[in-house]
Amino acid sequence: MTSPRYIYPANFSRHIATILGFPSKQSIAPEYYSAACAEIITLGTTISAFEPVRLYARPEDVPTAHSLLEQQLKKLQAASASSSSSTPTNVTNANPNNIRIIPLPTNHLWVRDTGPVYVRSASPAPQQQNQRYAINFRFSEWGRKETVSSSHGAADGKDWPEMSAAEMRENAQFASAVIAADSSPSPVQQVESSICLEGGALVVDGEGTLLATESSILNPNRNPGMSRGEIEAELRRLLGVEKIVWFPGKRGLDVTDVHVDAEVNFVAPGVVVVSKPWEGAPKAWKDVYEEIMEVLGRETDARGRRFEVHVLQEPAPGVLGELAYEDVATNYVNFYFVNGGLVVPQFGDRERDREALEMCRRTIQRRQRADERNLAQIGAQPDGNFPGIGVHDRHVGIDGQLADQGAEEAEDRDLAEVEVTSLDSSDRRRGGGGNSREEGGGGGSDIETHFDG
């Protein structure tokens, strides 16, 4: 009997909704907790101007999430009322009716890694096409890098809590819980995977090409005893890809073992943006970049096209005012497509931030019109506090659900500019493919995307 096959749409496909994860006190150092919560709410209200947002929070954290949301909406209403511009921005156009806070046991805010990966059936049969599907990739704390403790030790406010066995079980069960709770616009069927990975390890173009790092998937800490051929066969079955472009990556360089989504991203089929480490970055990260550029220079995509490669220089993390030992990462390529818009991280380096926005404008405008009149800016000024949640990143947990199959992709895309502090050690330390880089740490994704049909 042939196993069912599926297709994972590109990140620029239309969504039913975006999923975010509200951080728990068990997942973030006390010093960063309040700022992390505020950034998730800011991100959610920004995205709500474009599409529905589903914010998952622990039941005991729901009142806090509601309170912060009300405060943010009042702040935006005041800004809108005092604005001298006759054209409202997407930031002040936040749609409170598009934001739903859902109680569900969760800890990490990196839902791109912990949450389900939404796909559609490769079968042309109407019954399969009308059914919604999502893969449970069996989240394993990024290859079992978390330790179990009953102390939740955060002695000085900067130490990261250590999760209990019960909390780690909640993390492992989060994807299944989201799938079970998702019934709008229709129930979702869970797809089981024989391989273990995180959503930040996967970047696709929607036309048969998968970009991935060997270090984050072909790794015995996630898939012991499985051969490259077995893993590739399962990736092809679950994601509908025809060609896998592997980058070496580096095991243990961060918690994610170098998720691809923090290093390279598609803006269109055949067109990629690569993150170039800042001048003072550790040699290991520069080696990762050079290897990615070398592979992209000699490879083609699933349709035989040479890659058109654009490079985005990361600003020095010092622009965030962080302490040197926190080893932050300033990464633009975890930008996030929303329906009719693009959310781009900003870090306070005017030159680099402008370059990132202009590159996004140019590449997006080549395939569809961009309405620059609605360029929106949001977020806190860099202040050296909580590392900015890179969009996907660092994983800002966005889970974009696929829109109806027949829906046309938006012709116009607004560019929403997000000014955020960059995630420091909390960034890569806790997730998959994010903006922050920490030796031995991991970046997470606050943003996951549900794709449907």
Q: How many whole angstroms from its chain centre is CA 165?
A: 26
Read off the tokens for 391. Answer: 């969009």
Q: Report the C-alpha gap between 4 and 448 in whole angstroms.
A: 24
pLDDT 10s digit of each residue in the chain, 453 long?
Answer: 688 999 999 999 998 999 999 999 998 888 889 999 999 999 999 999 999 999 999 999 999 999 999 999 999 888 888 765 544 455 557 899 999 999 999 999 999 999 999 999 999 999 898 999 999 999 999 999 866 554 444 445 567 788 899 999 999 999 999 999 999 899 999 999 999 999 999 999 999 999 999 999 999 999 999 999 999 999 999 999 999 999 999 999 999 999 999 999 999 999 999 999 999 999 999 999 999 999 999 999 999 999 999 999 998 887 776 544 455 668 899 889 999 888 888 888 999 999 999 998 888 776 554 333 333 333 333 332 233 232 222 233 344 555 433 333 333 334 444 433 222 223 443 333 333 222 222 233 334 455 444
pLDDT at position 394: 27
Look at residues 205, 175, 257 and name the one whose alpha carbon lies nearest to residue 432. 257
Read off the tokens for 217. Answer: 């998937």
Q: Report the C-alpha gap between 124 and 116 in whole angstroms.
A: 23
For 261-304, where are the alpha helices, taking DSSP H only? 283-298
Q: Please calculate the CA angle 52-65-38 and round it to the nearest 5 degrees.
A: 90
Polymer length in residues for the chain: 453
User: Strand, helix or coil at 135?
Assistant: strand
Please list the residues that pair with 381 across neighbouring strands. Answer: none
pTM of the complete model: 0.83
Residue 185, preceding peptide bond in cis (omega within 30° of 0): yes
Environment class of 62 (CB within 10 Å of its CB; exposed 0-12, middle 13-18, buried 19+): middle
Q: Report the C-alpha gap between 192 and 189 in whole angstroms.
A: 10
Read off the tokens for 265. Answer: 């991203």
Phi first, then psi, for residue 432 (nearest 5°) are -130, 130
Report if residue 67 sits inside a domain.
Answer: yes
Read off the tokens for 75. Answer: 């702040």
Domain span at residue 133? 7-450
Report if residue 118 sits inside a domain.
Answer: yes
Phi first, then psi, for residue 373 (nearest 5°) are -65, -25
Report if residue 1 sits inside a domain.
Answer: no
Look at residues 342, 345, 320 and name the one whose alpha carbon lies nearest to residue 412. 342
Tell me which amino acid residue 1 is.
M
Domain count, the chain: 1
Q: What is the CATH number of the domain that holds 380?
A: 3.75.10.10
Report if residue 324 sits inside a domain.
Answer: yes
Q: What single-letter DSSP state applies at residue 299?
A: -
Report if residue 213 sits inside a domain.
Answer: yes
Environment class of 24 (CB within 10 Å of its CB; exposed 0-12, middle 13-18, buried 19+): buried
Q: How many CA atoms lie within 13 A of 151 on its CB side?
A: 6
Report if residue 409 sits inside a domain.
Answer: yes
pLDDT at position 149: 52
